[in-house]
Chain A
């Protein structure tokens, strides 16, 4: 295997270090200029050198919430294009949601996705299994079989749909304890969101679009943290989007309930005011909320109430967005812009330092998803899953340059800070100088 020497990067935004990668692992790190390999038996000789002055070195990012669309909707994304997009965004591992066609509710489907991930070589793919058969919320899928499969599924979710039956949710929470799994809930009370098109509030009243009340999310979260407490399980809440949800999770954590929560980059930046354009690129589930919610989410991510940032990368073909609002699909691509949005909303606002970003986008998601080999410290002996970014970069988002097969980004034409220059997956560069290797 080859060697890579990263010279002069700020590790986790802190100390400037040289990092030597040998094979699949980090061989050594040292304060810049003080490198002394003598006595270690190591040598930087022959290594590819990356001059990383002014750049931030992070552990490879981990996304707990990605839609890769394969099998079934290869017109919007495949495991290959999705993992290329992930690598471009600095990710070394993604968790692929189960709402494919067919649904990933059997060992066969999750193994297929897992294998496709292995073949892609750009990013580790950890399939998420469906909680219920066909995402229908009625009958538990074979959760144990998926865990036992080669894919080793530990995260289960009906994402896209809510496990709204309280009994099914309770059983799922209990059942996965046997193998250390976790249920990731898409919190959306279905009756309260029938015909819902956008956040219910001032803007929906004006635009005449069906309202999606915050309480539809919050009531499910409240129920599920209480269920988790009752049965002594851990529960993960997908894409928190309201200030009220934050309050409930904060309360649950203070009570000692084993709950973790994620927020998407778009909910950290965008508000429902954008819907005034009726441009379906802003149509997403859960919907964009208000400024007040955005600020509460940022604060919660900073103080740890929200554990992680997850992209909810949801590719859709052009025609599913190039239409009237009501007919459009919900979702946004996010893998290739996530880190930039987090830099803008969390780092440049002073809410989070780069070590905090490393925690929210790598350490914590890897821990929640039990992604072995990911979310590890940048130190000798650890797997060489690394992301290098240039925080000084400023660029306008141009979806034409995306590695994803889909272009449904809400950031087109928007200037965002930062750029991933290198992504390294187990010692192999998947992104070099901002381009896919």
Chain B
């Protein structure tokens, strides 16, 4: 494991599988009477949120608390604080307070990378979503959900997503979820197809390890999982598509389209869903839709990431020893 988690692209296959396997063990803690582990006792983690995201913040907070870390929530949204100098000032303030790790959400792409590499702070940095760049824990929880559903809870241990066909539909251009998922799913051996109107596919996408399609109907029958990305209504005003209705008709997932997917295929969504726009209520509430599982899995994944980054000593640059040694039996 590396010292920070900034981008899903930084993870090797073995790193990713280790995180998924660790998360599988973390998930079992949720079934116990005492949903808490003493592992990060005495460690302080700051959730530094420059952008509103209650879901992601409470998911990290739950993960941190289950590992017994002390949690500081810092909501820094607002015009005066979102200026650059404050990221540095805030970082240095946290450093001075002895924070052991920073979970950062920021509207500017690259802000977590800057935080981790600028020398402003020494602590490990976990990217909880930056601009339209990356959201690695989201990709990990998505992969975790897919592995559980498509490979199996126990059967999946140690395995990747080799050969699984995953389709991501929607606003790829503005989506950090899409970027992270393409990177991670490719690393895990899956075949990824992005489906979007051409206006919402970035120029330069040709080097991404995935296929591009503008036709949802042709891709659905060949998908083991279909992930619907959130589409913001405002995009309509910037002429990315003509109307909400036309978008739904061409790229929305409704019951008829879902019926064209293979029997075993699942429907995913990073949330929050815009029902009626990219997904109909019928699909969102069906058994095949994993939205609620994804939320639960998010806590397990974040526990796994925090444990692997913080559970050992600082020189966690090497892979964890997979067998116990005899010391201190």
Contacts and interface: CB of A to CB of B under 8 A. Distances in A.
B204 A278 contact: no
Interface string A207-232: 11101010000000000000000000
Interface in B119-176: 130-134, 176
A323 B131 CA distance: 15
B134 A278 contact: no
Given A201-B203, A204-B202, A205-B205, A327 B84 contact: yes
Interface in B236-263: none
Contacts of B131: 208-209, 326
A242 to B, nearest CB: 14
Interface in A301-346: 319-320, 322-328
Interface string B55-93: 000000000000000000000000000111101100000
A154 to B, nearest CB: 38
A208 B106 CA distance: 13
Interface in A177-207: 197, 200-207
B202 A324 contact: no
B203 A200 contact: yes
B108 interface: yes
A202 B133 contact: no
Contacts of A323: 83-85, 87-88, 114
Which of A197, A207, A208, A327: most chain B CB closer than 10 A?
A208
Given A324-B111, A324-B114, A211 B88 contact: no
Contacts of B117: 277-278
A201 B133 contact: no
B213 interface: no
Contact of A205 (B108, B176, B202): B202
Contacts of A324: 84, 87, 106, 108, 110-111, 114
B203 A207 contact: no
B110 A207 contact: yes
Contacts of A277: 117
A101 to B, nearest CB: 19
A319 B109 contact: no
A325 B131 CA distance: 11
B133 A328 contact: no
Nearest to A322: B88
Contacts of A204: 202-204
A327 B108 CA distance: 8
Contacts of A209: 109-110, 131-133
Contact of B83 (A208, A211, A327): A327
A279 B203 CA distance: 22
Nearest to A278: B110
Interface in A327-383: 327-328
B111 to A, nearest CB: 4
A211 B203 contact: yes
A305 B131 CA distance: 39
A207 B208 contact: no
A202 B83 CA distance: 27
A206 B130 CA distance: 13
A18 to B, nearest CB: 51
B86 to A, nearest CB: 8
A206 B87 contact: no
A327 B107 CA distance: 10
A412 B111 CA distance: 22
A324 B104 CA distance: 13
A326 B109 contact: yes
Contacts of B206: 202
A208 B176 contact: yes
A206 B108 CA distance: 14
B54 interface: no
Given A323-B83, A323-B87, A208 B207 contact: no
A208 B85 contact: no
A319 B84 CA distance: 8
Contacts of A197: 109
A277 B204 CA distance: 18
A320 B203 CA distance: 29
Contacts of B130: 208
A201 B207 CA distance: 10
B85 A326 contact: no
Contacts of B84: 319-320, 322-324, 327-328
A213 B203 contact: yes
A331 to B, nearest CB: 15
B203 A208 contact: no
B22 to A, nearest CB: 27
A323 B110 CA distance: 10
A270 B235 CA distance: 33
Given A323-B83, A326-B110, 6 more contacts: A200-B204, A211-B203, A278-B109, A322-B88, A326-B107, A327-B83
Interface of A: 197, 200-209, 211, 213, 277-279, 319-320, 322-328
25 contacts: A197-B109, A205-B207, A206-B204, A207-B109, A207-B110, A207-B133, A208-B110, A208-B132, A208-B134, A209-B133, A211-B203, A213-B203, A277-B117, A278-B113, A278-B114, A319-B84, A322-B88, A324-B84, A324-B87, A324-B108, A325-B111, A325-B114, A326-B109, A327-B82, A328-B84
Interface of B: 82-85, 87-88, 106-111, 113-114, 117-118, 130-134, 176, 179, 202-208
